[in-house]
Structure 1
Amino acid sequence: MSVRMRSLFVARIGISRRLSSGNGGGLAGQRGKAQCAPQLPACDIEPQKYQGRSQQEHLSLRRSHLSPFTLSYYHSPLLLHHGYMQWLWDADGRRYLDFYGGIVTVIVGHCHPKVTAAAQQQLGHLWHTSNVYMHPGIGPYMEKLCSTLPPPLQVVFLVNSGSEANDLAMLLARIHTGNHSIITLRGSYHGGTQATMGLTSISSWKFNVAAASGCAPVMCPDVYRGLWGGSKCRDSPVQTTRSCNCHSDTGECQAREAYLSEFRELLLSAAPLRLAGFIAEPIQGVNGVVQYPRGFLSEAANIVRARGGLYISDEVQTGFGRLGSHFWGFQSLGVTPDIITTAKGIANGFPMGAVVTTPDIAACMGEALSFNTFGGGPLACAIGSAVLQVIDEEGLMQNAEARGTDLMLQLSDLRKEFEVVGDVRGKGLMVGLELVRSKESREPLPPTDMRRIWEDCKEMGLLLGIGGIFGQTFRLKPPMCISQEDVDFAVAVLRLALQRHTLRKSGEV
């Protein structure tokens, strides 16, 4: 493994020196601020005292019996034993504000009372029966799920994960069209199975084996780090500071046209005349909340459809109201996909996923037997139904839009304060904070610096994700139940962590 790849791998799994809790001193206006960590917002839940094995015993068991490459966040991995809504507690009783949501999965809150009650009630009746039999929950659940989608997206395949959903979407596209090649975007993450590894276009997630053939990646239309783009290009409350000659009032976007030209060039040079499909996340998740120019995906979908292919929208991270303005990410793009895939938030952390498509496309699966032992089981459907009910009754999509917009606006103030904050982007509660050596160079902040800031946030009670090809972006994707106080606390923690980073680099600490 090269030095660069090793450093990126280490950055992703969070192996780093533990940051001391000592205070820094000195730059003008920052010495005093850097001496007092923000106070966690109040919480009226008192978890039971943890009485299990020690953290060291669990670490020993993990090293002995889990894969040696199982990801472990932080130098001193957290031993979590209790969760409630946006809060997590470790074995020592320390409370954390979860701004990563179990990797963008806990969408309505940890152990949400209504979801928990639905699961407990179903457990008392029927845990499991394969879908070769009927049970009372599956039909109403699929009806409720389809009510969030426009016709003709009304046929559901229930599965167990996002990787499995994308694997099935590939199969559907290829059988239905009779074609093989699928176009994907650089920087995309669509799963880690051998098949979906062909769709995933981030090198650190690829093994040196033959992944699924017929997957061609095209340039990612990243308006901050890519070749084209600027301050008028993306659908976000906060724009990049790069200048551009686009005209958002008329819909003219030079960056979009340049990236579409590159898209067409790829099809001319590296793809056959007939395509199976094009898969894209409405906003890239693992790559650090990367957004494209307005209108890019709808035009790219039209280009692929002209070659016989289907448009697949990977909604694993963007679905279920997380983006605030719409229930599904594609609904703000001006194009309806032929297939959507989803997982993660669909059941708030219970293993579940889905593929939704049209009756015409679904019919191709009649060519052979298709079966999923656990997909659409009674427990999964009960939990999935409760999640949909909570999102609606508690106005969580609207909360995601309000809290997410304020979060991004506050983070844009950090961009003005700190040279290392290069970009703030996102929509709703899918937010990226990209750190750089300098605004002018846009060179990614080194992994060691990212990890120290990340560890510092954890020590102050804030849990974040890290993403981006270079591990240079903090991913802020909390449960949609967070409050304004939570947003203010998260920004205060990030401000202090960035101040400490600035002091370290100046030699003041």
Structure 2
Amino acid sequence: MPIELPPCDHTPSPYSGPSKAELLERRKAVLNQGIFLLYKEPFMPVEGHMQYLWDETGRRYLDCFGGICTVSVGHCHPEVTAALSAQAQLIQHAPTCYLHPTVVEYAEKLAATFPDPLNRVYFVNSGSEANDLAILMARLHTGHHEILSLRNCYHGGNAVGMALTSHHTWKYAVPPMPGFQHLKAPHPVWGPIPYDAPDAGKQYAEEVADLIKFGTSGKVAAYIAEPIQGVGGAVPYPADYLTHAYAHVREAGGVCIADEVQTGFGRTGTNFWGFQNYEVIPDIVVMAKSIGNGFPLAAVVTTDEIASHMTGRIHFNTFGGDPLAMAQGMATLDIMLRDNTMALSKTIGDQLIAGLTLLKDKYPVIADVRGSGLILGVEFVQDGQPASAFTADFFERCKDHGLIVGKGGLHGSVIRLKPPMCLTPADADFLIEVFSEVLSELS
């Protein structure tokens, strides 16, 4: 008997476009071959409403990947759509070298979500651009060159993003940019130090001090880390890890950058920004994805002092601060704050963790259930090795049952859950039921 999705009062419009087979052939003929499709049988969503997607046949799915952690308050949220439409009827483009109210109003609201002294905003279009800009700011401010990032991280697909990223699957065989080094990272399954060990965070952070001593001049420009590694498989750190890591970096003259592209905007359920869960304050914060609920939008937030170095030359982003992006971003943030999507993420996340942990107790293939709020990972291991093939089958079968999830980790052995932050308890029950059914099928 098929597992039924919770009721939904939205009726999708009939689809009248090209067939999946026709569209696939046209795509193959014109798009760059490096642009991949996730599923063996391609998924073709043609309409979305809040946490749900409909394919070309009219079948409904629960979206628990959010367009790669990007749709935050819901697909086609009516208030976000209305704000974008209203702005589009007034002026569709105004660069930041003109004066326009929307960019100022949104920057004020966004900056107000940060602790002091983080108060200066620079808008760009993507997380990759934001990380590139953050590295530039760090080097200008410190006068140093060396950048440290963690193994298993992902920070973007441009040149700087690939230099920061430490996953061979996301790096091309071209000469790497100089000045980037990668630290051994904490990991609850594969790391050498159990997270519940005394001083686990301090011990892991010794890697930062050692690399600075042996791999650099002793001075660094920056250390960048995601509060929870996203593409790496929803990997958090021991509670005091960032405290010690930040201290080592600052002692070497560097600044600390928090990549909040996937963890930001209350998704962890306990704080609006992921770094706050570790009781640290970075010098620079980058954000994207959830910020625009699907619109190309990102930002870098930093201090007065660090931002002031940008005045030394002309620097400009054509679409950063664009009125359309600002309208969508501001509407998204207003909904997050009004509806307290952070608290909802905590409630639903706790429900999912409880249900997934019960499945872990029943199925040994689940090695770990981890994360916080609505950024979760389920890691599969067989015979002491990453269960890549099992995870690939699991991933496909979830779609067959009407559930869209993500997949990550270096070996593709982690199921990633990063849905829109409007899931209901009934949606969470559906996810657990699908996981249980698929585990039963594959076991």
TM-score (norm 1): 0.86
In structure 2, distance between residues paired with 1:437 and 1:213: 38
Deviations 1:379-432 (A, max 9, x none): 111111101110111121100001001101110001001011110000010000
Alpha-carbon offset, residue 260 of structure 1: 2.0
Alpha-carbon offset, residue 367 of structure 1: 1.4
Q: 1:454 pairs with 380, 395, 410, which one?
A: 395
Q: Give the corresponding residue for 1:369.
A: 314
Q: Where has structure 1 moved over 4 Å in runs of 4 or more?
A: none
For residue 358 of structure 1, what is the amino acid of its counterpart? Answer: T
Give the secondary structure class of the aligned counterpart of 2:286.
Answer: strand
Alpha-carbon offset, residue 261 of structure 1: 2.2
Q: Is this contact kept in 1: 2:201–2:244, CA < 8 A?
A: no
Q: Is this contact kept in 2: 1:229–1:293, CA < 8 A?
A: no
Q: Give the corresponding residue for 2:225.
A: 280
For residue 183 of structure 1, what is the amino acid of its counterpart? Answer: L
Q: Give the corresponding residue for 2:30.
A: 65
- The reply on whether 1:408 has 2:353 as its aligned counterpart is yes
In structure 1, distance between residues paired with 2:201 and 2:278: 13
The correspondence of residues 356-505 of structure 1 with structure 2, limited to 5 A, is 356-438=301-383, 441=384, 443-445=385-387, 447-502=388-443
In structure 1, distance between residues paired with 2:307 and 2:222: 15
In structure 1, distance between residues paired with 2:86 and 2:378: 41
Structure 1: gaps spanning 5 or more residues:
1-35, 233-245, 247-252, 503-509
Give the secondary structure class of the aligned counterpart of 2:219.
Answer: coil
Q: Give the corresponding residue for 2:59.
A: 94
- The reply on whether 1:199 has 2:153 as its aligned counterpart is no
Alpha-carbon offset, residue 224 of structure 1: 2.2
In structure 2, distance between residues paired with 1:296 and 1:201: 19
For residue 104 of structure 2, what is the amino acid of its counterpart? Answer: G
Alpha-carbon offset, residue 75 of structure 1: 1.0
Alpha-carbon offset, residue 196 of structure 1: 1.6
- The reply on whether 1:349 has 2:349 as its aligned counterpart is no
Q: Is this contact kept in 2: 1:37–1:493, CA < 8 A?
A: no
Deviations 1:326-357 (A, max 9, x none): 10001111110100000001010100000000
In structure 2, distance between residues paired with 1:211 and 1:382: 38
Q: Is this contact kept in 2: 1:142–1:156, CA < 8 A?
A: yes
In structure 2, distance between residues paired with 1:93 and 1:416: 36
- The reply on whether 1:173 has 2:138 as its aligned counterpart is yes
Alpha-carbon offset, residue 451 of structure 1: 1.6
In structure 2, distance between residues paired with 1:300 and 1:255: 12
Q: 2:173 pairs with 203, 208, 212, which one?
A: 208
For residue 400 of structure 2, what is the amino acid of its counterpart? Answer: E
The correspondence of residues 46-445 of structure 1 with structure 2, limited to 5 A, is 46-230=11-195, 232=196, 246=197, 253-438=198-383, 441=384, 443-445=385-387
Q: Is this contact kept in 1: 2:398–2:404, CA < 8 A?
A: yes
Alpha-carbon offset, residue 269 of structure 1: 1.3
Give the secondary structure class of the aligned counterpart of 1:491.
Answer: helix
Q: Is this contact kept in 1: 2:159–2:177, CA < 8 A?
A: yes
Q: Give the corresponding residue for 1:32.
A: none
Give the secondary structure class of the aligned counterpart of 2:378.
Answer: strand
Give the secondary structure class of the aligned counterpart of 2:344.
Answer: helix
RMSD over aligned CA atoms reads: 1.0
In structure 1, distance between residues paired with 2:114 and 2:199: 32
Aligned length: 443
Deviation larger for 255-264 or 205-214:
255-264
In structure 2, distance between residues paired with 1:450 and 1:265: 35
- Identical aligned pairs, as a percentage? 45
Q: Is this contact kept in 2: 1:216–1:271, CA < 8 A?
A: no
In structure 2, distance between residues paired with 1:210 and 1:352: 30
Alpha-carbon offset, residue 296 of structure 1: 0.4
In structure 2, distance between residues paired with 1:37 and 1:455: 16
